[in-house]
Structure 1
Amino acid sequence: MTSPATVGASRDGVAAARHLASWLGLRLGLAATPTFAIMAVLTAMIGDSPADMLCAAGHGSLLGGMVPMYLLMSAFHSAAWLKLISERRGR
């Protein structure tokens, strides 16, 4: 049998875990966009390795290669930044 205090503590723990997960998810989302953008720039500047030839095997595709892939990943992960900007403008 559980006491009301135990149930309350359990609910507080679940709420704290959800808050921590939300906070970490936002921070990871904010880190992803600039990380992928930096990777795209670095790959464009120093990316003349044999591995790049494997990734660019798109047979003339506009999206072939690592630089466009990193730019797309940066764009797809920009939702956290857009959410942050919209929340700050709403204040």
Structure 2
Amino acid sequence: MTATSASGTTRGAGESTVAAPAVARFLHLAASPTFALMALSTFILDSGGPGALCAAVGGSGFNGMAPMYLLMAVFHLTPWLKLMSRQHA
């Protein structure tokens, strides 16, 4: 007997869906490193140009996308901290 999923794909009776829960368990860990890499690449690729000129004129250095990505990475560190605390306990 075959089952049809919500996306319309058909699976056979012997086919399991073990990969989806395994991926979902670790997907929340991807946010913080992704945002950290985005902050780093934005800082490196966008250094110079009009943004640097405006910051040198008197604005703070904390404007733009790189600090926002760093802040997002910090806010998404919770799953990593939980994982590390479980490993040390």
Q: TM-score, normalised by structure 1?
A: 0.56
Q: Which residue of 2 aligns with 1:65?
A: 64
Distance (Å, rounded) in 2 between the aligned partners of 1:72 and 1:27: 21
Q: Secondary structure of 1:30's partner?
A: coil
Determine the C-alpha separation between the residues in 2 that align with 1:63 and 1:27: 31
- Aligned-pair RMSD on alpha carbons? 2.9
- Name whichever structure is richer in strand by fraction: 2
The 2-side partners of 1:83 and 1:73 are apart by 17
The CA deviation string for residues 30-82 of structure 1, in whole angstroms up to 9 with x for no partner, is 1001100000010011126x9x96xx9xx935542101000000000000000
In structure 2, the gaps of 5 or more residues are 1-20
Distance 1:40 1:62 in 2: 14
| Corresponding residue of 2:80 | 81
**2:80 corresponds to which letter in structure 1?**
W
Query: Kindly tell me: are residues 61 and 28 of structure 1, through their superposed partners in 2, closer, same or farther at Cα, counting changes over 3 Å?
Result: farther
Name the one with the larger helix percent. 1
> How many percent identity over aligned positions?
45
Moved over 2 A (4+): 59-63
- Structure 1: runs of 5+ lacking an equivalent: 1-19
| Distance (Å, rounded) in 1 between the aligned partners of 2:77 and 2:27 | 11
Q: Which amino acid aligns with 1:31?
A: A
- How many residues align? The count is 64
Q: Counterpart of 1:36 in structure 2: which amino acid?
A: F
CA distance in 1, matches of 2:70, 2:86: 25
Give 1:1-91 correspondences, 5 Å limit: 20=21, 24=24, 26-47=25-46, 60-61=59-60, 63-90=62-89
